[in-house]
Amino acid sequence: MMIPPAVNLGIDIRVLAEADGMAAQLAASQVGDYRDAETVLAFAENVDVITFDHEHVPQEILRQLVDRGVRVHPGPDALLYAQDKLLMRQKLTDLGLPVPTWARVRTEDELQTFLDDNGGRAVLKTPRGGYDGKGVRVVSAGHEASDWFAAVAETGANDGLLVEELVEFRRELAQLAARRPSGELVFWPVVESVQRDGVCAEVIAPAPGSAGRVADVAAGIAGQLASGLGITGVFAVELFETTDDRLLVNELAMRPHNSGHWTQDGSTTSQFEQHLRAVLDLPLGATGTREPHTVMVNILGGPSEGALADRYADAMAMHPTVKIHNYGKDPRPGRKVGHVNASGTELDDVVYQARAAAAFFQD
């Protein structure tokens, strides 16, 4: 999704891509494995700046890139926190940012103690590699995590697992922001992120009723995070709005994020254009909304037979104002294969348009 703004701005973009998806159609693309140092280092020789659309590139490779003088944004020191949830929780705590009560647990007994102290149920997370609800489990007894403890013990380091209180929240919010290496920092309006089965189902931008205190607190947290962690590029802070009106940091994504897909059609500057500007250290674009409300609905799984495109005729005929985004990926159950954005002045209608259009693409 960074290709369209790169084409518009005349930026010569090169992609180290997995074979699947549209990116591999760029002549400048190379199909290869981001975990292979030789591949990444060779690829980096022909670019001025390197960035990633996920946080999983190994630290050793990131640091080799920096050592060779490649501009890497976000840099390895910042990405470390997005790669390891335990490091992130510790850093947020050190920065004095509001987080759920948490602990590092290495044994069933330690987990049981945490449960006993925190209402008998908690959220257990693997520090690395989780996304979209993977690597997250709600537990109410220490022995329910015996498999995960065994797995982390096998790694040798045995860094343990992250356990967090089960936060009583009203809703989930996300604060999208961008920061340049030279320090300029901009925020989009805070959004509401509606989750189903641990996966983002839809995003309402701005979050209803967020103007004023909520927007102020959310931007304040994101700003502290950005400077405290030295983030460059676009990043998203996922927040819990608790039933007692606090905002707690849930997760941190150090890249353009699903909660920011609404900006492609709903904001003056999309998160993908902004990320390109930020990593190139160009002045950041305006982050205002084009229309009072924009709603993004994810397309999950997709049609079991045939391509998404087979559903275009009906969806387009019924919803001429809705913008359809199709990632060109093979549908698999639960896989995000596209999304739609709807914008307008009446929130109820915008939600309806987005959901109804997306429904054409789901079985």
Q: Is 250 annotated as a binding residue?
A: yes
Q: Is 85 annotated as a binding residue?
A: yes
How do strand 16-17 and strand 191-196 relate by DSSP bridges?
unpaired
Tell me: does residue 71 bind a copy of itself (CB under 8 A). no
Tell me: does residue 73 bind a copy of itself (CB under 8 A). no
In angstroms, what is the minimal distance from the CB of 54 to a copy of itself? 19
In angstroms, what is the minimal distance from the CB of 20 to a copy of itself? 12
Residue with structure tokens 């961008």?
A: 178
Stretch that binds a copy of itself, among 71-79, 93-101, 154-162, 319-327 (CB under 8 A): 319-327
Stretch that binds a copy of itself, among 36-44, 121-129, 163-171, 317-325 (CB under 8 A): 317-325
Tell me: does residue 199 bind a copy of itself (CB under 8 A). no
Spatial CA neighbour of 295 closest among 357, 215, 252, 236: 357
Is residue 95 exposed (0-12), middle (13-18) or buried (19+ Cβ within 10 Å)? middle
Contacts of 256 (CB under 8 A, 6+ apart): 1, 2, 53, 234, 271, 272, 275
In angstroms, what is the minimal distance from the CB of 337 to a copy of itself? 9
In angstroms, what is the minimal distance from the CB of 193 to a copy of itself? 22
- Binding a copy of itself by CB under 8 A: which of 38, 138, 309, 332? 309
Tell me: does residue 274 bind a copy of itself (CB under 8 A). no
Residue 222, CA distances (Å) to 270, 276, 287 in order: 18, 19, 15
Q: Is 172 annotated as a binding residue?
A: yes
End-to-end CA distance of the chain: 25
Tell me: does residue 321 bind a copy of itself (CB under 8 A). yes
Starting from the edge strand earliest in sequence, which strands make up the sheet with 136-139, in order? 102-105, 161-165, 122-125, 136-139
Reported residue count of the chain is: 363
Q: Is 298 annotated as a binding residue?
A: no
- Binding a copy of itself by CB under 8 A: which of 56, 68, 290, 332? 290
Tell me: does residue 283 bind a copy of itself (CB under 8 A). yes
Q: Which is nearer to a copy of itself, 21 or 220 (CB)?
A: 21
Spatial CA neighbour of 179 closest among 126, 125, 236: 236
- Binding a copy of itself by CB under 8 A: which of 51, 193, 232, 264? 264
Tell me: does residue 11 bind a copy of itself (CB under 8 A). yes
Give the C-alpha separation, 262 to 343, whole Å.
Answer: 9
Q: At what angle do helices 85-94 and 213-229 cross, to 10 degrees?
A: 110
| Binding site residue list for ATP | 85, 125, 164-167, 172, 250-251
List interacting residues with a copy of itself (CB under 8 A): 1, 3-5, 7-12, 22, 24-29, 264, 268-269, 277, 282-286, 288, 290-291, 307-309, 312-313, 316-317, 320-321, 323-328, 338
